[in-house]
Amino acid sequence: MTRHAQVAAPVGWVVALVFVGILAACGGSSATQPGAATNPSVAAPSVAPAAPATLPITGPTLWAVGDIGDCASAGDEGVAALLAADGGTVATLGDTVYEAGSAAEFARCFEPAWGPLKSRIRPAIGNHDYGTAAGRDYFAYFGAAAGDPGRGYYSYEIGSWHLIVLDSNCAVVKGGCAKGSPQYTWLAADLAAHPALCTIAYYHHPRFTSGLHGDTIAMADLWQALFDGGIDIALSGHDHHYERFAPVDGAGHPDPARGIREFIAGTGGGALYPVFTIAPNSEKRDANTFGALKFTLGDGVYTWAFIPIAGQTFSDSGTGACH
């Protein structure tokens, strides 16, 4: 039985009714909140706002952001200050430090601002983190929190949520990312062994993006496996902007009922990239703001909010229900 066939865990009949109403009103997605993109080329489409939830969602906090430690930028210090002022787990979405993920760069460009957050971080590995042989210095810095050295993928739990961390460096990770690879086989087994109602996957290279790097075709088989396994949210970085997509299926077609909602948050401190061409199903984007995504992981439901660093104003927020 896939997760699509799972019976939802009880979240209280009142909460269930509230979210049925929300999903019916907006096709399974949430409202675009005030705070339009400041770059005219990435203005958000016109979306009718959904009715606000009448009950608060409570649960553990997950922060997510990638493309971080850059000694030439003050953005990473701003994002670290944002996270330090709040609690919760921090999912780093790859490219932890520039340019080569070396021990010296971790010490000079990451540790001063982000070191106090280290005990909260569950990292995903990026292409810059592979700048040293087999990501040696990345795995040495994070230790057991990064999973088995040389593999780069693992999973863990936050409350009732299951979180899957993948290695999207498909040309580097042993066996690649295609169906039948060690990582694909591990992912299928992990999904089968953890039939949680609510699941998040995160990694560095986005499957779909409006950014300069383009869609990551090499992740297609893993994305299909994630969809077949019924996950709810996918998070990535690599492109240095913020973007939110409508839920889509394994082929990237809209699927409000069962689709994966993808977020890109490559806004952790590395130089921001412009966006020129809007990808299908992209709902909101910004290419001018450093910040991080904050999730509240409730019982069968969740909220998200993109929080900008001090002095910047773009934001995005909404709610969703798990499959």
> For the chain, what is the mean pLDDT?
87
β-sheet bridge partners, residue 265 = 242
Q: In the chain, what are the domain boundaries? A: 14-321
Residue 251 pLDDT > 80: yes
pLDDT tens for residues 221-247?
999 999 999 999 999 999 999 999 999
**What's the pLDDT score for residue 315?**
97
- Torsion angle of C-alpha atoms 29, 241, 121, 299, degrees rounded to 10: -10
What integer is the mean pLDDT of 2-20? 36
% pLDDT > 70, the chain? 83
Please report which confidence band the pLDDT of residue 150 belongs to, taking 50, 70 and 90 as the band edges: confident
CA 246 to chain centre: 14
pLDDT tens for residues 191-220?
999 999 999 999 999 999 999 999 999 999
Q: Compute the distance between CA of residue 32 and CA of residue 306 in angstroms, rounded to an integer.
A: 12
pLDDT tens for residues 33-42?
333 333 433 4
Cβ–Cβ contacts within 10 Å for residue 311, how many? 7
3-state helix, strand and coil shares in percent for the chain, rounded to the nearest 5: 30, 25, 50
Residue 170 pLDDT > 90: yes
Instruction: Spell out the residues 6+ positions from residue 153 whose beta carbon is closer than 8 angstroms to its own.
Output: 147, 164, 165, 166, 167, 173, 183, 186, 187
pLDDT tens for residues 75-115?
999 999 999 999 999 999 999 999 999 999 999 999 999 99
How many degrees, rounded to 5, is the angle at CA 219 between CA 65 and CA 93?
A: 10
CA distances from 87 to 59, 101, 122, 204 (A): 12, 26, 14, 23
CATH fold of 14-321 = Purple Acid Phosphatase; chain A, domain 2 (3.60.21)
Least confident of 12-26, 48-62, 249-263: 12-26
CA distances from 274 to 39, 42, 53, 94 (A): 8, 9, 33, 19
**What's the pLDDT score for residue 54?**
42
Instruction: Spell out the residues 6+ positions from residue 24 whose beta carbon is closer than 8 angstroms to its own.
Output: none
Instruction: Using the structure block, give the residue that is written with the tokens 């739990």.
Output: 157
Please report which confidence band the pLDDT of residue 25 belongs to, taking 50, 70 and 90 as the band edges: very low
What integer is the mean pLDDT of 115-135? 97
Q: Exposure of 201 by Cβ count < 10 A (0-12 exposed, 13-18 middle, 19+ buried)?
A: buried
Please report which confidence band the pLDDT of residue 128 belongs to, taking 50, 70 and 90 as the band edges: very high
How many degrees, rounded to 5, is the angle at CA 230 between CA 214 and CA 9?
A: 140
What integer is the mean pLDDT of 306-320? 97
Instruction: Using the structure block, give the residue that is written with the tokens 């929080």.
Output: 307
**What's the pLDDT score for residue 161?**
98
**What's the pLDDT score for residue 55?**
62
Residue 27 pLDDT > 90: no
- Pairing status of strand 282-286 against strand 301-308: unpaired
Least confident of 9-18, 172-181, 221-230, 289-298: 9-18
237, 62 Cβ separation under 8 angstroms:
no
Q: Helix axis angle, 182-193 relative to 220-228, nearest 10°? A: 10
